[in-house]
Amino acid sequence: MNNPKVSLSPHEKGHFTTNKIMWLVCAALIPSFISALYNFGIRALVVVAASLVFCVGIEYLIQKFLLKTKVTICDGSAAVTGLLLAFNMPSSIPLWQLFIGALVAIGIAKMAFGGLGKNPFNPALVGRAFLLISFPVSMTTWPQPGITRFVWNVDAMTAATPLGNIKLHAFNQLPDYWDLFIGTVGGSLGETSALAILLGGLFLIYKKIISWHIPFFFLATILVFTGIAWLVNPEAFVNPLYHILGGGVMLGAFFMLTDMVTSPMNPKGQIIFAIGAGIICSCIRLWGAYPEGCMFSILIMNAFVPLIDKYIKPKRFGSEVNYGG
């Protein structure tokens, strides 16, 4: 042997890879996908497939023809964005609008900042925020779960979402907790079933891809905050469990807020980040104009991440003298 490789240590490498992380996140979204299929049928399938094709395709085209760099669609990050974008849509979303959402998510929120790992905001949520503001009607029309399974033209079969009813103070029209938990209610494709999200989320915690800090403190903050409001005035505010189980809070807690790229780097920072998002989300839901505040709360806290990372540092070994023991 003439020329052995020479490099600095370490010479050993762990087996965890970025691609593995991304594809495991995709795998963790499978239960939610199944619940979406069960509730919204073929339209759910079409929206998810289209969103995947749009997101991955747009990233490919941008890398290949616009940036002329190496194409990295195999890393799975565009697929994660595609799935999450679809899961944040009503099943009745027109596909051309979905395409615009994907273009904003991948083109503006991700690739314009430098691609994988460089985006300050969660791409799927930026896409959704853009669509919500641009096409408020189609983004807030919710096909009824179950009966629209085999129907293509679902515009006539719409239902109110639990959060919509809360905003209208129609507390008597709320579904029971079990329906909310398993997800047979109106809403975005992937956010209705708390059970499915929980399964995926626990899988990610088990695989050490996310830590429990962010989901726990986000959900706990919302529970406490809306709980206080409910205790003070149960006439005007709804039971906090509805806030946890309804809308996008569960999906946000386990899949959006925990996005590695757009969350702080150490547990202390992550707790501050999660509590901040919980407070903002609760405020929007209780007093804001929108029935749902989860998306905005996450995007707002994303903006605080650099600040949190600058001031919340891990405790250095030997920074406080400890003569114990």
Task: In whole angstroms, give the CA distance from residue 118 to residue 128.
Answer: 19
Give the C-alpha separation, 192 to 180, whole Å.
7
Cα atoms in the Cβ-side hemisphere of radius 13 Å centred on 212? 5
Radius of gyration of the chain (CA): 21
Smallest distance, Å, CB 317 to another protein? 4
Should residue 318 be labelled a site residue for another protein when binding is judged by CB under 8 A? yes
Minimum CB separation from another protein for residue 302, in Å? 12
> Which residue lies nearer to another protein by CB, 72 or 97?
72
Q: Is 287 in the site for another protein (CB under 8 A)?
A: no
Min dist CB 202 to another protein, Å, is 19
Stretch that binds another protein, among 4-12, 85-93, 122-130, 135-143 (CB under 8 A): 4-12
**CA dihedral sign, ordered 122, 141, 59, 251:** positive
DSSP line for 11-38? ----S--HHHHHHHHHHHTHHHHHHHHH
**Residue whose pair of structure tokens reads 């003298």 in the numeric block:** 321
- Say whether residue 315 binds another protein (CB under 8 A): yes
Q: Which is nearer to another protein, 235 or 324 (CB)?
A: 324
Q: Which member of 67, 112, 170, 260 binds another protein (CB under 8 A)?
A: 260
| Residue among 202, 266, 279, 290 that touches another protein (CB under 8 A) | 266
Interface positions, 68-107, toward another protein (CB under 8 A): 72, 75, 77
Report if residue 170 touches another protein, rule: CB under 8 A: no
CB atoms within 10 A of CB 175: 18
> Least separation, in Å, of the C-beta of 215 and another protein?
16
CB of 228: closest distance to another protein in angstroms? 32
Tokens 């940036």, residue? Answer: 67
Q: How far apart are CA 111 and CA 160, in angstroms?
A: 36
Considering beta carbons, is residue 150 or 317 the nearer one to another protein?
A: 317
Which is nearer to another protein, 68 or 316 (by Cβ)?
Answer: 316
In angstroms, rounded to a whole number, what is the distance separating the alpha carbons of residues 167 and 288?
A: 9
Q: Are 24 and 207 in contact (CB under 8 A)?
A: yes
Q: Which residues bind another protein (CB under 8 A)?
A: 1, 4-14, 16-18, 20-21, 72, 75, 77, 114-118, 260-263, 265-266, 313-325
